Chains A and B, each alone.
Chain A
Amino acid sequence: MNLKDYIESGIIESYVMGLATESERAEFERLCAQYPELVAARRKFEESIEASAKEQALPTPPEVKVKIFEAIGKNAPSSLGSTSSNPPNIPSMQNSKNPVRGSGMLRFVAAAAIILLIGMVWLYFQAKQRNQDLVRENDGLKTQRDTAQNILNRIVQEQKQAIGDPNTTVVNMVGTKAAPRSSANVYWDSASSSVYLVVKNMPQLPNDQQYQLWALIDGKPNDLGVFDATNDKLILKMKDTKKAQAFAITIEKRGGSSSPTLEKMQSMGKATQTQ
């Protein structure tokens, strides 16, 4: 394939603007993983669209932002710390009309009462502010909890799907000489072609490198996608494959390579049917 012709075919623009068909999108994404020049050209067009859209920005209806933040269960951030916009409403005392006569004691009592009143008002707003802070904090924690719960549910769901299925082949990947301690499990569902990877022990890589999973089909390696050895994902969904006699993991440059660097092979496992 001539990459230059492909870049100039209008596919980038169709893809970015959401006008490409499903198969065009899939092909484009696959080629992007392979050719950094294609990604660079896509990025350039995206930047020009973004610049043009920002130049043409219209003023938005002011109530929309408030409604959005209400809908997602939080206060708009612009209202944070802006209590000064509604200052405490302290009624002014009208003493001058009827000047208090004579008694210094009465004046003292009046002054004390005013001071007391101001003090109470201050305490009241202080407490109110504190209360608002707590409510906001509580909301934030709730959202965080819900998000964490959702992520957990999704992981559990994926795992059930991948591991519980009778069509799933479990491939235990063991370390090679280059990396004797590396280990991971591949769950390959031969019915749906889905491939999941559970990282058990893969050392952290420098930022410019990633692990890449390969399916060996009739002796030829096929890319199943790249991954990082971080702990935050328990189970990774890799690219589908219909066939595979074995799986292998290599270390490649970030973004992956089109063919594996075999001397960097980290682990390997045979996809023999266990069921």
Chain B
Amino acid sequence: MPFLRRRRPPDPSRQHDASASSAAGGGSSLLSDDNKKERPRRKQNEPRTPRKKWSCVDTCCWFIGFICSMWWFLLFLYNAMPASIPQYVTEAITGPLPDPPGVKLAKEGLEVKHPVVFVPGIVTCGLELWEGKQCAEGLFRKRLWGGTFGEVYKRPLCWVEHMSLDNETGLDPPGIRVRPVSGLVAADYFAAGYFVWAVLIANLARIGYEEKTMYMAAYDWRLSFQNTEVRDQSLSRIKSNIELMVATTGGKKVVVIPHSMGVLYFLHFMKWVEAPAPMGGGGGPGWCAKHIKAVMNIGGPFLGVPKAVAGLFSVEARDIAVARGFAPGVLDKDVFGLQTLLHLMRMTRTWDSTMSMIPKGGDTIWGGLDWSPEGGYICVSKRPKNNRTQAAGQTGMGHSDITRGVNYGRLISFGKDLAELHSSNFERIEFRDAVKGNTPANHCDIWTEYQEIGIGGIKAVADYKVYTAGSVLDLLHFVAPKLMARGDAHFSYGIADNLDDAKYEHYKYWSNPLETRLPDAPDMEIYSMYGVGIPTERAYVYKQTTYPVCSIPFQIDTSAKGGIDGSCLQDGVFSVNGDETVPVLSAGFMCAKGWRGKTRFNPSGIRTYIREYDHAPPANLLEGRGTQSGAHVDIMGNFALIEDIIRVAAGATGEDLGGDRVHSDIFKWSERIDLQL
């Protein structure tokens, strides 16, 4: 508007000037009189008047407006851009992309055959609110977990309250109902742009899969497995849906694809479904044989993960420990009055499911004080890309002098020195009978069971110095008796001596592969598919903290470093080969040895296959999370894995895939494990 007016030739004023009499307007008076004195004054005045308008607020407004307009403009361009451009750019930089496996296999003529069931793991499945407290007003049927996590920032305490379960029952706290999202959307993307199952779903769709032949067995991953049935009837739902899919596709068996904790959940399901009705699903002994073609476990923590111990013991894993190493203050200070870790600990300790991943099999599997199946593993975290294949072949013997000291069996040791000393060189003080000190913990806002151990108990824990997989259980029982009492009702971590023992009919054994038999389904196939080539947490070096009573008294000792490059000890964590979360041993042992052939755990001789995927980080940024990744979640976008799954879903058997595909030393390690089969 003003712009237009400025340009208008002012006819009336021109006449006015010609007359040059009134001189009322500032401009005309100046020129008609040619008064030079007025000029400098004007000079000063005039620039000042417009400058007055450029106040700070205006500048801000201008700036915001400018940014907004640019943003909209770019957004418009982005939207108007043909969808193929990003791909075009990527191809221009990196050369032509390989066809996604779905497209490739569709060209080969593969078609939808067996229905597919996805079983998501812990954490990746969305949870939504169905009933909440006052503070969660307006969040009805909104995602509390997954999606944008917006509420975590807006009202963190409210969020923690709603995500927690009841401390004693492990079920809903009164007045709060948080339920799993159902359908494929439950776990296709974890957060916006962070795919979990989406890539696999998209590729399956290329060969004709759709909603009627794919089923996402979403369940509340916070609950213990049996409780998902008690509260939500999730297991019944899976059973009914599998039966429906088998019926509607003309009797074709399903291919089940569990991921991460879903592997254990499905193990539980297979026992549950054949168990008689009050405790089980009443499907009868032939159910699995009749309905399941293959179970393709992705990154399965069959024997648990050491991470779970660190999580329960001090709510840490390497990520948090590293963060603490960078900025020692942040996580411990009461920033904004939030005791982040304590809150997290209180929340995660109400989740029974975390206890399903405590290492199983004790010292037999995970190693004792002075030996471990992985002994002699070299940890070259930055292996040169080109000789990866060689390195995988020759790991072990030659480097034993460097790695002699790594005692992976010691899951938790207090102090780096203790982690490396031979067991004969130190003495341990029994902690199990230690008297728990009585600390009045009334002033603590947040309750964790550590307040009840007291200083005496904490000291006793540290004095025991070194814990193996077996004694770690005792440790957890000691520091968190209530939690473990709840856990023991739902999970078991031992090895069965006699599988015919009647006690093994209890559901708490169903998710432990070392205490159950596989169902009688000789035609079924079990795959263990996992990534290798990434350092994975295996054992921890701890220290006692010197903080006040209300905090967690133990911490990973991030100052403990191995020194030389080849060391497995980084920031207080001993690493071993795996997919960043699950060590190779846990993911592969059952398929490599425990179930291979006809064993007592696998009486019907179900065929097992190991498919390992060597990790290759994405070549450039445009690739996103990589098409050859071996990381625990990113592997779901690994083209080789997707291809394997599609082939099996389209009817191939394990033999057609080429049997085992191994990069790691899993068979060697398995041999070292002395387990009665």
Specify whether A and B are partners: no
Interface residues of B (CB under 8 A from A): none
